């Protein structure tokens, strides 16, 4: 059907027949985060633009090219959040969460907006599950947050996902590194894209993250930060590796990861798959020890990650992972005439009050069409009411899978009797499994 207005490029609809996949991953991430001691936080969809410029960084792709910024009637300018960390830290500071003892551990499931070129695994509105931990500089915290992301990936049933880790040091070790990078890129200055030319003076590390083929070719031979780490950062990175090994988590050191947001310090990591094409980073994160102070708080070390839920679901689909099947209707009660319909309404009401999924005809269809509908919605049981059933106060309850029927009273014990039949069915199904 031709609709008059179509959805914007780079956005997705989730139809009722597909939403169980989202419910599955939302359940996995929520259960896992809570098991690791993280509590949910909810934040606004838009923030003052300055929040992202300060935290994500004014030389990043996100701020320079990808933000959706709006202003309404002379207000300050606002930006639809391109990621979850900045707003979360802002909210924790604004609501005094940081005063409630350390470490503070929060998680979120939210939509993000970036003006990027839409393609498989890259959308303009996408969803992230993210975790943030504030108030610890210990490498065991880095390992624990990586373990959380890994646990989500394992529970989703994913295989072939590689964990890449790196350390991008602290502002101290970066001084020498920036100098070395600048010298290196100066020699290919004429070939760099215009954005990177500007980055050369201000923040040469950002050139390493440029998506242009020429810049990334030049960047591939640039000096790596691991060779410039100070003793403290080196020690932190080694301790992280020991912790990961103790947790039996396999990893690869990838000195090329720098991450696309400016606020990272020391540990950075990515979980990557080759199964969904070029956009294979399912999860990315790291430590951001300077961010809280930048946003007006005290100097509190922190870390976190963001996991792209579209990419997670895409990988699960590609790998044939299992999703939780949606619950279907427990009972459909069909009616043959007006009196039966009245009885039908009162039985369905009683069933729903006890928590059962009960449905009946709302369209005015004939019996045959009602039964067809019961089949289509996957009803576990069905029942037909007509004048005979009303007279005898009893009807046949039909198991829709096996076709077996039992007589069931329509009197005051109806809901209890139905409940017993449903329990029997559940046991029978479990035995089959």
Interface ranges with Mg ion (CB under 5 A):
260
Of the ranges 25-33, 242-250, 253-261, 363-371, which one interacts with ligand ATP (CB under 6 A)? 253-261
The one among 308, 343, 358, 373 contacting ligand ATP by CB under 6 A? 308
Nearest distance in Å: CB 368, ligand ATP: 46
92 lies in the binding site for ligand ATP (CB under 6 A): no
The one among 88, 265, 281, 370 contacting ligand ATP by CB under 6 A? 281
The one among 126, 251, 288, 360 contacting ligand ATP by CB under 6 A? 126
Of the ranges 122-130, 194-202, 316-324, 366-374, which one interacts with ligand ATP (CB under 6 A)? 122-130
The one among 81, 114, 199, 398 contacting ligand ATP by CB under 6 A? 114
The smaller minimum CB distance to Mg ion, of residues 173 and 258, is found at: 258
Q: Any residues with CB less than 8 A from the CB of 298 and at least 6 apart, and which? A: 98, 292
From Mg ion, ligand ATP, none, interface partner of 83 (C-beta below 5 to 8 A by class) = ligand ATP
> What is the edge-to-edge ordering of all strands in the sheet holding 405-409?
358-360, 331-335, 381-385, 394-399, 405-409
The one among 254, 279, 294, 394 contacting ligand ATP by CB under 6 A? 279
Nearest distance in Å: CB 21, ligand ATP: 15
Site for ligand ATP (CB under 6 A): how many residues? 20
Distance between CA 78 and CA 70 in Å, rounded?
Answer: 5
311 lies in the binding site for ligand ATP (CB under 6 A): yes
DSSP state letters, 96-131: TGGGG-S-EEEEEEEEEE-----BTTB-SEEEEEEE
Structure tokens, 249: 């988590």
* Overall residue count recorded for the chain in this entry: 433
The two beta strands, 381-385 and 331-335, are parallel
* 105 strand-pairing partners: 133
DSSP 8-state assignment for residue 317:
H
**Pick from 299, 268, 22, 4: nearest CA to 156:** 22
Distance between CA 132 and CA 55 in Å, rounded?
Answer: 15
The one among 115, 122, 155, 318 contacting ligand ATP by CB under 6 A? 122
The one among 204, 284, 290, 301 contacting ligand ATP by CB under 6 A? 284
Long-range own/partner contacts, residues 247-250 (CB < 8 A, 24 or more apart): 247/143, 247/147, 249/143, 249/146, 249/147, 249/150, 249/163, 250/163
| E strand map for 247-404 | 252-253, 265-273, 281-287, 302-308, 331-335, 358-360, 381-385, 394-399
From ligand ATP, Mg ion, none, interface partner of 361 (C-beta below 5 to 8 A by class) = none
The one among 310, 330, 361, 389 contacting ligand ATP by CB under 6 A? 310
Backbone CA torsion sign across 14, 15, 21, 25: positive
Nearest distance in Å: CB 82, Mg ion: 9
64 lies in the binding site for ligand ATP (CB under 6 A): no
* 122 strand-pairing partners: 119
Phi-psi region of 134 (alpha: psi -120 to 50; beta: other; left: phi over 0): beta
Q: 200 to each of 162, 170, 373, how far by Cα in Å? A: 31, 19, 65
Residue nearest to Mg ion (CB): 260
Nearest distance in Å: CB 113, Mg ion: 12
Nearest distance in Å: CB 118, Mg ion: 13
The smaller minimum CB distance to Mg ion, of residues 103 and 260, is found at: 260
The one among 21, 174, 306, 331 contacting ligand ATP by CB under 6 A? 306
The smaller minimum CB distance to Mg ion, of residues 204 and 284, is found at: 284
Sites of contact with ligand ATP (CB under 6 A):
83, 114, 116, 121-123, 126, 128, 259-261, 279, 281-284, 306, 308, 310-311
């Amino acid at each position: 059907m031709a609709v008059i207005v179509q959805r914007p490029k780079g956005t997705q609809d989730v139809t009722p027949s597909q939403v169980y996949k989202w419910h599955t991953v939302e359940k996995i991430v929520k259960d896992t985060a809570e098991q690791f001691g993280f509590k949910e936080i909810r934040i606004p969809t838009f923030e003052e633009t300055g929040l992202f410029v300060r935290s994500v960084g004014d030389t990043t792709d996100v701020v320079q090219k990808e933000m959706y910024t709006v202003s309404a009637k002379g207000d300050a300018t606002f930006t639809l959040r391109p990621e979850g960390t900045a707003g979360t830290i802002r909210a924790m500071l604004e609501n005094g969460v940081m005063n409630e003892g350390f470490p503070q551990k929060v998680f979120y499931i939210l939509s993000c907006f970036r003006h990027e070129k839409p393609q498989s695994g890259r959308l303009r509105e996408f969803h992230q599950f993210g975790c943030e931990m504030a108030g610890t500089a210990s490498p065991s915290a880095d390992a624990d947050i990586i373990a959380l992301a890994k646990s989500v990936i394992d529970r989703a049933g994913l295989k072939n996902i590689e964990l890449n880790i790196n350390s991008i040091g602290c502002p101290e070790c970066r001084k020498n590194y920036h100098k070395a990078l600048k010298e290196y890129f100066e020699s290919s200055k004429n070939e760099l894209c215009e954005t990177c030319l500007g980055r050369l003076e201000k923040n040469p590390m950002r050139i390493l993250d440029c998506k242009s083929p020429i810049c990334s070719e030049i960047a591939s031979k640039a000096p790596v930060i691991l060779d410039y780490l100070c003793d403290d950062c080196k020690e932190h990175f080694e301790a992280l590796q020991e912790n990961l090994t103790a947790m039996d988590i396999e990893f690869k050191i990838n000195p090329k990861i720098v991450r696309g947001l400016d606020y990272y310090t020391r540990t950075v990591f990515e979980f990557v798959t080759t199964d969904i094409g070029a956009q294979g980073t399912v999860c990315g994160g790291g430590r951001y020890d300077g961010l809280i102070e930048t946003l007006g708080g005290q100097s509190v070390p922190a870390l976190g990650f963001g996991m792209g839920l579209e990419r997670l679901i895409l990988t699960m689909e590609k790998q044939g992972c299992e999703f939780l099947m949606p619950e279907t209707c427990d009972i459909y009660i069909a009616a043959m005439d007006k009196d039966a319909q009245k009885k039908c309404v009162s039985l369905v009401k009683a069933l729903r009050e006890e928590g059962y999924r009960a449905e009946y005809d709302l369209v005015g269809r004939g019996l045959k069409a009602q039964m067809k509908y019961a089949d289509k919605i996957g009803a576990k049981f069905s029942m037909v009411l007509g004048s005979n059933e009303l007279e005898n106060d009893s009807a046949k309850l039909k198991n829709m899978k096996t076709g077996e029927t039992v007589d069931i009273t329509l009197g005051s014990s109806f809901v209890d009797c139905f409940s017993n039949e449903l329990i029997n069915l559940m046991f029978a199904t479990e035995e089959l499994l």
